[in-house]
A and B are shown apart, each in its own frame.
Chain A
Amino acid sequence: MWKWLHPYANPETTYRFTGKIKPWFSWASFILLTIGLVWALMFAPADYQQGDSFRIFYLHVPAAMLSMGIYVGMAIAALSSLVWQLKMADASAAALAPIGAVFTAIALITGAAWGKPMWGTWWIWDARLTSELILLFLYLGVIALHNAFDDKQLAGKAAGILSLVGVINIPIIKYSVEWWNTLHQGATVSKLGKPAMSLEMFWPFLFCFFGFSFLVGALMCTRFQTELLARNRMRPWVRQLVEQESK
């Protein structure tokens, strides 16, 4: 395992590897999202209670699940960067934070748009909504702390500690609908066991979810590469790269 992972501690190797997998992620995301969104928005049956407005589900739920998943990923990267001093992990945590913040914002905005016709209100101080809003603040705090330091290494460590402290919020969001009986409905999609929705609604969801996941992967690759270039801008391999590009 270590022997296999060892070359990826070198920024140049990792840069090239990320460049190779990026088109795969982009294409997978494009295909899955095209199929998933067309299926979900045009062909999936309308909900018997909510009618067509339930279709925002296909945007809202993947965004909400990914907002939490990205935070956990960022925290794991931060932990491995703090414990094993992996510089690549540090760069990937820095690359993930803004993506996660955007997905949290998407989840909140689509949730508000869904809440207006269903609950009659854009916003309510419900446990799930509030904890998701806190997640957005946590992301913004991590990003702000990261930008506050001039030294990228220090910035990564400080932001890493903060993101680890914030992990406490993730189980709160996850179980908020079970711990507090508030307005937000319970989980519709459970990964293990039988989904609580009909299969012809569930399949397009799967396409959308994995489409968005691969989109996160592709964005992550781009941001990670940029981050690597910025951090290694004085290295010879970056200069060679720039010279090749400018030719």
Chain B
Amino acid sequence: MHTPTQLSYRSAFMLILKRDLTIAFRHKDDVINPLLFFIIIVTLFPLGIGPESATLARIAPGIIWVAALLSCLLSLDRLFKSDYQDGSLEQMLLSPHPVFILTLAKITAHWLLTGLPVLLVAPLLAVLLHLPEPAYGALMLTLLLGTPVLSFIGAIGVGLTVGIKKGGVLLSLIVLPLYIPVLIFATSAVDTAALSLPYSGQLAIIGALFFGSLTLAPLAVGAALKVSTN
């Protein structure tokens, strides 16, 4: 039996998720800008490399994945920055709910706002890059499993750098090396699928990365935030 002031874990999670989504929808450019950035980066490649469809098809998985990685990096700053500046982050850390739930909710909101749009736009861009037909399923599956990993790992970096004034460049230095495994296995899965070969091995590793980061990253983020807010 719990008192009215005591929230269950689930409602605490949902409250923070809703709060973050509401804030994001009030500042629409926060949602749209990373997506536009993603699309623009992808369009830069055919202009820079040349429009031969064979070349583009060969490098399409890499382009889409690197662009997804960079747009995730661009949007990470929003994850804790404004909450840190107006003090609500400290209030959340002081609340009786486990930090794990709070960070999990915030990371979920971040993925819904940045990972999901990328996932939805990716097939369209894949068409523009002449990605071979059999690779579409692999591209979608790797993005579905991989972009949350980007959010989780990125959140650790943001948690560590949120208190630093010029944290932006440092954030990319910290986070990008940790993104490399996701990038390697995701693009390798899409490449394998383009040759109509089974890619379940790579997918399994990305799945393992997903569940590993799902269970461990919120803990690391919590610890990092406690350091940053001191």
Contacts and interface: CB of A to CB of B under 8 A. Distances in A.
Contacts of A149: 163-164
Contact of B160 (A140, A158, A169): A158
A169 B176 CA distance: 13
B contact patch SS:
helix
A158 B224 contact: yes
A217 B227 CA distance: 30
Interface in A149-177: 149, 151, 154, 157-158, 161-162, 164-166, 169, 172
Interface residues of A, number: 22
A166 B160 CA distance: 14
Contacts of A162: 156, 160, 174
A161 B223 contact: yes
A contact patch SS:
helix
A46 interface: no
A154 B153 CA distance: 20
- Most A-side CB within 10 Å, residue of B164, B177, B180, B228: B177
Given A148-B161, A157-B227, A162-B160, A140 B173 contact: yes
Contacts of A43: none
A165 B164 CA distance: 19
A141 interface: yes
A129 interface: no
A161 B177 contact: no
Given A130-B180, A161-B220, A162-B160, A144 B170 contact: yes
Interface residues of B, number: 23
B134 interface: no
B173 A144 contact: yes
Nearest to B169: A144
A45 to B, nearest CB: 39
B230 interface: yes
Contacts of A137: 173, 176-177
A138 interface: yes
Nearest to B209: A168
B174 A161 contact: no
B181 A141 contact: no
Contacts of A165: 153, 156, 178, 220
A145 B170 contact: yes
Interface in B194-230: 220, 223-224, 227-228, 230
Interface of A: 82, 130, 134, 137-138, 140-141, 144-145, 148-149, 151, 154, 157-158, 161-162, 164-166, 169, 172
